[in-house]
Structure 1
Amino acid sequence: MTATHRDAPTAAGSGANATDRFKSDKTTQGAGTPPERVNLLAREVLSAVHETIRRHKVTYEEYNALKAWLIDVGETGEWPLFLDVWVEHVVEDVATEHRQGSRGTIEGPYYVPGAPEQGARGSVPTRADEPGTPLVWTGQVTSTDGPALAGAKIELWHADADGLYSQFAPGIPEWNLRATFTTDAEGRFEIHTIRPAPYQIPTDGACGKLIAAAGWHPWRPAHLHVKVSAPGHELLTAQLYFPGDEHNDDDIASAVKPELILEPKPADDGETVSYGFALDPVRN
C-alpha cells in the first residue's frame, strides 16, 4: 500500500500551507485566556517535562537532540502537523466529552472553509479523470432533541486516490474533493464522491525524523472529513473510516473511533453507504 505521487507535497510545503491557514482562521481563538489559566497549564506541562527528565535520566546529548529537533519543527513550519497528529485527539476528547449525539474526532491540518455549495444532493468537484471507486453517501442530520434539521450544513473534504489534498499539494484544482452540502426539509442529503485512499503524513521533515527515530509508522487510514453544523446546535467535526483498513487500529493520529467506521455496500458502479448525524443543541 503506497501513496506516492510525482508531485507529492514536501513537509515544508504542507507545513507552510497549514501554518498560513491556521494564522488566517484561528490564531485569535485563545486570546482571552486569563493569566491564571495560562499559569496553571504552562506550569503543569513544564512539570511533566521535568518529571520525564528526572525519571529517565535524560542526558545532555538527548537534550541537545531535542533542542535541535524543536528548532527544525519551527523552521520547517511543521507545528500544525505535529500538534494535529499527536496532540489534537486528546483535546477533542476533552472538549466533546459532554455530548450525547454523534461522536467526533480531530479536524487535522487540511480543512479549508468556503467549499462550493452543492445543495442537498450533488457531487463533490473532481477532475475529469479522477481515479477512485465511486461512493454514494446518504444520510440524515437530526437533533438529539428529536427533530430532523433542515438546512444543516455538511462540509466535506478528503484526500484523492494518491492520498493528496487540494490546496496542500501541487497540481490539483483548488476545490478538488471539497464541497458543502445543505440538508433538505427532512434533514436528508445525498453525496457523490470517491472512496479516498490511506496515506502517509509527510516524512521528509522534522516529524518524519521523529517517526524514524522512534520506530513508528507514518500511516493514516482512509477517511472522509466532515464538519456538520446547524443553528442552535454544536458544531460536529469528524472523520469517517472504512472497515478492513490495516491502520484503523494503529492510526498515527490516534483519531479512529468504532462509531466512526462506515459500512459500505457494493453497488453497480462503486459503493453506497448510509450514515447520519445527531447534533447536540447548544445548552446555556
Structure 2
Amino acid sequence: MTDIITEQATAAASGAAATERFRTRQHSGATDVDAKRVDTLATELITAVHDIVRRHKVTYAEYDVLKAWLIQVGQDGEWPLFLDVWIEHVVEEVASENREGSKGTIEGPYYVPDSPNLSAEATLPMRDGEEGTPLLFQGQVTSVDGTPLSGATIEIWHADNDGYYAQFAPGLPEWNLRGTVTVDDRGHFRIHTIEPAPYQIPTDGSCGRLIAAAGWHAWRPAHLHLKVSAPGHQLITTQLYFKGGSHVEDDIASAVKPELILDPGPAADGNGHEVTYDFVLDKA
C-alpha cells in the first residue's frame, strides 16, 4: 500500500463515507416505524441511561464530557461506526435467533451494493500484484432441506492486505476486492481472492477517543464479508474469520461466532491457501 493511502485514510473520511452510504440506503428503503414501538424503545433507552446516572453518581463534569463527545461523534460522521461496532451484533443476534441455516453476523459500515457481477468461478477485482496470500474460497449454497440453490448469489467484500476497503480509502480502485458471484446449477462457487488483514477501526476520531479513554483495543480480526441470497429464501449477512488469527478471541465488535471460523489449508496448486465453506439458507 502506498504511503499516500496510509496518510489520507482517516476516521473522518471513512466515517463520512459510511454515513453518506447509510443515508442513501435508508432513504431508498425507508419504512414507517410503529409509534408504539418507538415509544417503548425510546422510553426504555432513556430510562436505562437514567439508571446508569443514578447508580454511578455521574457528575456534571462527566456529563459535560459525554455531551461533548456525542456532539463530536456526529461531526466526525462516526455514528455508523459506533453503532456497527458496539450495538449491531446484538440486533443481529435477535433478528436471526430462529434461523435453522447458516449463522450470520454484523454487516459493518463498509458494504456497497451493486458490485460487479461474476460467474461461479471467479477472481475478485484487484490490482496487478495485489499484496496478500492468495485464497481460494469455495463451497455450495443449499436450502435447509439440502436442495442445491441454483442461481443463488454471493456478495463478497473485504479489506486488502493493509486493512483498507475500496470506496472508503483513497487510492484504491472502485471495486477492489468486491464482487457479486452467481453460483452454478448445483449451487457451487469458487472465488479467488487474497486473505485480508486484521485492522484497527479508525482511531483518529471520536470512537478512537472512547477506546483510548476506556483502555480498550481497536482491532478487528481478518474477515470476509458476505451476503448470500436466493429466491424464496432468507438473506444471510455474515463474516468469516480465520482460525488462529489475531483478535479472533477478542474482536472489538464482538461479532465472531465459532461457526464462522475458517481453517484454510494449502492450496492444491501450491499457491496460497484454500478453504471450503457451505451456506445453508432458510426458506423465506
TM-score greater than 0.5 by the shorter chain? yes
Cross-structure match for 2:282 = 280
Secondary structure of residue in 1 paired with 2:118: coil
Q: Partner letter of residue 151 of structure 2?
A: G
Number of residue equivalences: 279
Mapped partners of 2:49, 2:144: distance in 1: 41
Residue deviations 1:44-64 (CA, integer Å, cap 9, x gap):
000100000000000000000
Secondary structure of residue in 2 paired with 1:140: strand
Q: Report the CA distance between 1:8 and its aligned residue.
A: 4.8
Residue deviations 1:21-74 (CA, integer Å, cap 9, x gap):
001112465631111110000000001000000000000000000000000001
Mapped partners of 1:280, 1:270: distance in 2: 33
Q: 22-31 or 49-58, which moves further after superposition? A: 22-31
CA 33–276 in structure 1, closer or farther in 2 if over 3 Å, else same = same
Residue deviations 1:217-249 (CA, integer Å, cap 9, x gap):
000000000000000000000000001113011
Mapped partners of 1:73, 1:31: distance in 2: 25
Cross-structure match for 2:83 = 83
2:58 aligned with 1:54, yes or no? no
Give runs of aligned pairs for residues 223-234 of structure 1, distance below 5 A.
223-234=223-234
Mapped partners of 1:164, 1:223: distance in 2: 12
Mapped partners of 1:140, 1:8: distance in 2: 39
Q: Report the CA distance between 1:137 and its aligned residue.
A: 1.1
Mapped partners of 1:8, 1:129: distance in 2: 22
Q: Partner letter of residue 52 of structure 1?
A: I
Mapped partners of 1:30, 1:152: distance in 2: 26
Cross-structure match for 1:209 = 209
2:88 aligned with 1:110, yes or no? no
Q: Partner letter of residue 277 of structure 1?
A: F
Cross-structure match for 1:246 = 246
Q: Report the CA distance between 1:146 and its aligned residue.
A: 2.4
Conserved in 2, the CA contact under 8 Å of 1:5 and 1:162?
no
Q: Partner letter of residue 98 of structure 2?
A: H
Cross-structure match for 1:39 = 39
Q: 30-39 or 159-168, which moves further after superposition? A: 30-39
Secondary structure of residue in 2 paired with 1:155: strand
Conserved in 2, the CA contact under 8 Å of 1:219 and 1:247?
yes
Cross-structure match for 1:66 = 66
Mapped partners of 1:66, 1:107: distance in 2: 27
Give runs of aligned pairs for residues 4-19 of structure 1, distance below 5 A.
6-19=6-19
Q: Partner letter of residue 200 of structure 1?
A: Q
Mapped partners of 2:133, 2:5: distance in 1: 18
Q: Tell me the percent identity.
A: 64
Mapped partners of 2:128, 2:242: distance in 1: 25
CA 123–133 in structure 1, closer or farther in 2 if over 3 Å, else same = same
Secondary structure of residue in 2 paired with 1:147: coil
Cross-structure match for 2:170 = 170
Q: 5+ residue gaps in structure 1?
A: none
Q: 168-177 or 261-270, which moves further after superposition? A: 261-270
Q: Report the CA distance between 1:117 and its aligned residue.
A: 1.0
Mapped partners of 1:6, 1:22: distance in 2: 24
